[in-house]
Structure 1
Amino acid sequence: MIERAVKPVIEKCLKVLPAIVILGPGQAGKTTLIKLLAAKNKKETIYLDLEKTSDFDKLNRDAEEYLLSYLNECVLIDEIQRMPSLFPLLRAVIDEKRKPGRFIITGSASFALLKGAPESLAGRVAYFYLHPIGLHELPAAIPMNKHWFRGGFPQALTIRNNQLLQGWLDSFITTYIERDLPFLFDIRFSTSTMRRLWSMLAHLQGSILNAENLGNSLDVTGTTVKRYLDYLEAAFIITRLQPYFINIGKRLIKAPKIYINDSGILHYLLRLHAEKELLNHPAVGASWEGYIVSQVLYAKDSRLDMYYYRTQAGAECDLVLVRGHVVKACVEIKLSKAPVATKGFFHCIEDLKSKNNFIVCSADVDYINKQGIRIVGAAIFINKYLAKL
């Protein structure tokens, strides 16, 4: 079993707070994690999976009576976004007996789950995100290239062969499109259009988003595309990386860049069936860039914000890492094992006045070049330098 980095932090919170909420995409390992947490919580455990009709009905009949009958136990509520009406009730039940570690809750959609929840449970709960397995959590027995190709969903990462992997990813995507997204957000859409959107996003990995052009290709409006992207981002499937603005007299690119978070999903949508196919594919550079962006997203401190920077004159930086209003680092992402900094990257460093500057590459290296840029391998950057920013 792969140890999750967030687990020790959650364990500390359970000793202080009445409830914790773990958010993340389906199949990322939330259920496994909460059962492990409950086992160490030293309380009798009641587990409710709201995707099961029988468990849903237990709360649907009279949730207050049911929950008040377990004042001394640890209640695990899996996929709570299926019953968001529980949040106001949980506040009352927690206040009835405010003891640490009473509730461990999961949800698969930030938008649906958080709607009204912060107000209901303010001061009573801590929120955590469980992303797919990140490079910072990867066991030594699993090579980085395998992780890059297969992505971080535990079953995809550990499944026996690539043929079974393709079947699992097909089922995952179909389930999300045909069942999970409509249920999570109480929406109706053309499943064929949504599937085409996923495919198009794969071919636009790392590109500047133009919703109108994307809508024209799908025969829908740009507004509809943006709404669909809202759903996908709220379900942790994609990230829209926003541009970084500074008060300078330059013409800047102001649209977000778009990434599919999980590289395994990306490669499936690109119809790649083996690692060697990836290395010879035209999208390999965009795939590597997206992989590093997602690994930084998974591993970074929550107070460290991520942006990109690009001017219309051609200066470009793949990642700008900012804490508060201070630029902590500029990061260029290159697949090359012997990368060279571009003139545009130096312009970004000059514009942003960044003191920590990196080129993250695929080689296992760590050195500073003649221009003062640190050339570093992906795993070394994630595990050694990211936490210091």
Structure 2
Amino acid sequence: MILQNRNCILFCMIIARKIKTLVQQRLKSYPAVALIGPRQSGKTTLARSLSTDYFDLEQEPEQLRLDVQWPSLIKTKRLIVLDEAQSWPELFPRLRGAIDMERQRLGRFLLLGSVSPALMKHVSESLAGRLSLVELTPLTLTELPDIPMTELWLRGGFPDGGVLTSDRYPQWQKDYLDLMTQRDLPSWGLSAKPQVMQRLLRMLAAVHGQLWNASQIGQSLGLSYHTVNTYVHFLEGTFLIRKLQPWFANVKKRLVRSPKCYWRDTGILHSLLGVQDYETLLNQPWVGASWEGFVIGQILDTLNMTGWPVDPWFFRTADGAEIDLMFRYKNKLWAIEVKLTSNPSLQDFDSLNRAADLVGADKRVLVSQTTQSAVGKMQISCSLQELLEMFVKPE
């Protein structure tokens, strides 16, 4: 296997992660910050740039070292980094006690975790109100100004996954999923057999960008829809899968009420579907769904990175009116339509406007691969890069 953390360290030192500023700001306001995100996304590297007091709690010797040093550590003025904190549940009551003894002390603990709080009852039960959550995603387009967008779309944003060294893709992604199904998911409480999970992952790749139907997936796997939903819930909690919920508006139309399911990293998606190069990607019948998921992911990850995470939705009526992505951002409702074309048409905008009128959207954005942007007060037609720059540039 080629998963090598030392290379991630090298690449992340070269690439300044923009979310670092947000982490530092939160440490000035909270006793503890939890930096969460998928494995191998760069959490450890970022944390070690903030403190040398580091404990890897997946390792039993490190748990013992922390146990022995705990009385002196909680008195220190230095930031303590606790990596893979979910691996040692007894840590959380200790953290709660230490924080409650001196609630006014800020910036004491930086917790790193590869699962979301939805899978970490210890956090929700012990540290509610005592820490701030920050999500670190794989690399985004705004962090890679010298990398062609097509490379990021094809290989995904994991620092070790090929976007920086192309020879690693797609073997790195295959090894990554092997470790997830054989080691990580079982250790986090998912009892599924690795072979079943591998089949589920391939099926999820086949339905990327489609309406979620757990019963259909379950029939193919010989599982109940309850079991399938449980498995996918774990995949959401480990930042592999995103379910985009439908927008329920008070309109005189029959609305689609099932969520849509996306892989969060297109490199992993493409490796599951056997795509090795960009030319092959463009010739796939599902390339539009891949592009749509990539654009949605880049927008949401960039907003999260700037400290403006949003609740995303999509909108679709039974008679075909549709908006690929909606969210509220700075008191405005945004409606975004994604097209895989370099020459969007007036009909594309007409379709977006008809759907946007139904929900009362303040901003209507058509994202494509155009090189000729048009920016108005309400309507925008632009490339993905230009849209992301609108979100990250200072006002």
TM-score for both structures, normalised by structure 1: 0.90
Partner of 2:41: 28
- Per-residue displacement from partner, 1:207-235 (whole Å, max 9, x unpaired)? 00111111111111111111111000011
1:380 to 372, 383, 386: 386
Partner of 1:50: 57
Q: Would the alpha carbon gap of residues 103 and 111 (structure 1) be closer, same or farther in structure 2, given more than 3 Å must change?
A: closer
2:139 to 133, 137, 141: 133
Distance 2:83 2:45 in 1: 11
Partner of 2:321: 315
Which letter maps to 1:18? P
Q: Would the alpha carbon gap of residues 56 and 81 (structure 1) be closer, same or farther in structure 2, given more than 3 Å must change?
A: same
Partner of 1:227: 230
Partner of 1:42: none
Distance 1:205 1:387 in 2: 31
What SS is found at the alignment partner of 2:295? helix
What SS is found at the alignment partner of 2:45? helix
Number of residue equivalences = 374
User: Structure 2, unaligned stretches of length 5 or more?
Assistant: 1-13
1:195 paired with 2:198, answer yes
CA contact 1:159–1:165 (8 Å) conserved in 2: no
What SS is found at the alignment partner of 2:326? strand
1:149 paired with 2:154, answer yes
Q: CA deviation at 1:342?
A: 5.8
Q: CA deviation at 1:368?
A: 4.7
1:12 paired with 2:25, answer yes
Which letter maps to 2:27? L
Q: CA deviation at 1:343?
A: 5.0
Which letter maps to 1:20? V
Partner of 1:174: 178
Q: CA deviation at 1:99?
A: 2.9
Which letter maps to 1:332? E
CA contact 1:238–1:258 (8 Å) conserved in 2: yes
Which letter maps to 2:205? A
- Per-residue displacement from partner, 1:339-387 (whole Å, max 9, x unpaired)? 1216543321110111210110123332159x97421000111121587
Partner of 1:83: 88
1:336 paired with 2:349, answer no
Distance 2:362 2:163 in 1: 39
Q: Would the alpha carbon gap of residues 134 and 342 (structure 1) be closer, same or farther in structure 2, given more than 3 Å must change?
A: same
Partner of 1:41: none
What SS is found at the alignment partner of 1:240? strand
Partner of 1:207: 210
Deviating 4+ runs (over 6 angstroms): 386-389
- Per-residue displacement from partner, 1:50-104 (whole Å, max 9, x unpaired)? 1223113334xxx3x5322212133211000111221121021234455333211
- Per-residue displacement from partner, 1:255-296 (whole Å, max 9, x unpaired)? 000000001001101101111211122121111000011111
Q: Would the alpha carbon gap of residues 182 and 362 (structure 1) be closer, same or farther in structure 2, given more than 3 Å must change?
A: same
CA contact 2:322–2:355 (8 Å) conserved in 1: yes
Distance 1:134 1:142 in 2: 10
1:366 to 373, 376, 384: 373
1:252 paired with 2:261, answer no
What SS is found at the alignment partner of 1:69? helix
User: Structure 1, unaligned stretches of length 5 or more?
Assistant: 39-44
CA contact 2:28–2:106 (8 Å) conserved in 1: yes
Partner of 2:301: 298
What SS is found at the alignment partner of 2:333? strand
CA contact 2:155–2:170 (8 Å) conserved in 1: no
Q: CA deviation at 1:160?
A: 2.9
Q: CA deviation at 1:177?
A: 0.9
- Per-residue displacement from partner, 1:191-212 (whole Å, max 9, x unpaired)? 1111111111111111001111
Identity %: 35
Q: CA deviation at 1:336?
A: 0.3
Distance 2:191 2:120 in 1: 21
Partner of 2:169: 165
Distance 1:293 1:212 in 2: 26
Bigger shift: residues 83-92 or 13-22: 13-22
CA contact 2:190–2:234 (8 Å) conserved in 1: no
Q: CA deviation at 1:388?
A: 9.5
What SS is found at the alignment partner of 2:160? helix
Bigger shift: residues 15-24 or 308-317: 15-24
Distance 1:278 1:384 in 2: 28
Q: Would the alpha carbon gap of residues 387 and 233 (structure 1) be closer, same or farther in structure 2, given more than 3 Å must change?
A: farther
Q: CA deviation at 1:46?
A: 2.3
